[in-house]
Chains A and B, each alone.
Chain A
Amino acid sequence: GNSVTQMEGPVTLSEEAFLTINCTYTATGYPSLFWYVQYPGEGLQLLLKATKADDKGSNKGFEATYRKETTSFHLEKGSVQVSDSAVYFCDDNTDKLIFGTGTRLQVFP
C-alpha cells in the first residue's frame, strides 16, 4: 500500500499566498522522496526530490526539506501563481504501486 500520506485537497489560495502541502512517510530506512506535479491535461512530472535526510529539494520556487526526525517532506512555496494550479503528488519511491489522489491546488487571481 501507499507509504506516504499527504493532505487532502483541494487547497484554494489567492495569488501570492504562501503554500504548504503536508507529506509524511512511513517507509523504513532512508527512502528518496519526491514531489511530482500534474498540470491539467498532462502526465506527472518531477517537481523536486531529496535523496537523504536534511537535503532540500527546490524547483520553480517550490521547496521541500527531507526531515527524518518528523518523517516529513512538506512542499512549500512563498508566493503562488495562478499557473501553479495543478495536482501535487508526494512519493517515497519504495512503492510505485499507488500514487493516491494527490493534492489539488487551485490558485485564483
Chain B
Amino acid sequence: DTAVSQTPKYLVTQMGNDKSIKCEQNLGHDTMYWYKQDSKKFLKIMFSYNNKELIINETVPNRFSPKSPDKAHLNLHINSLELGDSAVYFCASSQDWAGGTGELFFGEGSRLTVL
C-alpha cells in the first residue's frame, strides 16, 4: 500500500478552470502538507494541517484552498487557474511538527499544466 497517495498524477487544463488534487495518507500521521515545486526544482510549502487544523498558510493566493475532512486526507482546490500555477504539487505527512525526529513522507506528485 502506498503510504502517501495523491491523485491525479497529471492534470492538464485551461486557464480559468477550477481543479482539485486529492491526498490521502495511511500512516496514521497527525500532520499533512502541500508543497509546490517549480521548474527549477525549488520546493516550498504552501499549507500544513495538524489534526485537521490549519497551522501554516504561506503567502499563497486565496484561489488555493486546502480542505482536510479528516486527519488522513488533505485536498487542494484551485480556482481560476493561471499559467503561473503550472508546477508539480507534492503532498506530504509527518508524525509530528517542527523539532521532532520524524521524517516527511511524500507523495509522488501531481504535475499541473495550465494552458
B53 at interface, CB cutoff 8 A: no
A42's nearest neighbour on chain B, judged by CB, is B108
Instruction: Name which residue of chain B comes closest to A46, CB basis.
Output: B103
Number of interface residues of A (CB under 8 A): 27
A to B contact number (C-beta, < 8 Å)? 66
Please give the distance in Å from A47's CB to the nearest CB on chain B: 10
Which of A51, A94, A97 lies in contact with B45, CB distance below 8 A?
A97
Q: Which residue of A lies closest to B108 (CB)?
A: A43
Mask, B85-115, CB within 8 Å of A = 1, is 0000010101001111111111111000000
Chain A residues near B99 (CB-CB < 8 A): 31, 93-94
Known: A99-B35, A101-B42. A51 touches B104 (CB 8 A): no
Question: Considering only CB atoms and an 8 Å cut-off, how many residues of chain B contact the other chain?
Answer: 28
With a CB–CB cut-off of 8 A, which chain B residues contact A100? 42-43
B104 x A102 contact (CB < 8 A):
no
Contacts of A89 in B (CB 8 A): 43
One of A45, A93, A96 near B101 (C-beta < 8 A): A93
* Most chain A CB within a 10 A radius of its CB, from B35, B104, B107: B104
- Complex contact A87–B44 (CB within 8 A): no
Contact among A34, A96, A102 for B41, CB-based, below 8 A? A102
A49–B43 touching, CB < 8 Å: no
A45-B106, A99-B35 given; A93·B41 CB < 8 A = no
**B68 interface contact, C-beta 8 A:** no
Give residues 61-107 of A contacting B (CB, 8 Å): 87, 89, 91, 93-102, 104
Residues of A whose CB lies within 8 Å of any CB of B are 31-32, 34, 36, 38, 41-46, 49, 51, 87, 89, 91, 93-102, 104
Would you mind naming 15 contact pairs between A and B with Cβ atoms under 8 Å apart? A38-B41, A41-B109, A43-B4, A46-B103, A49-B101, A49-B103, A89-B43, A94-B99, A96-B33, A96-B45, A96-B104, A97-B44, A97-B45, A99-B44, A104-B41
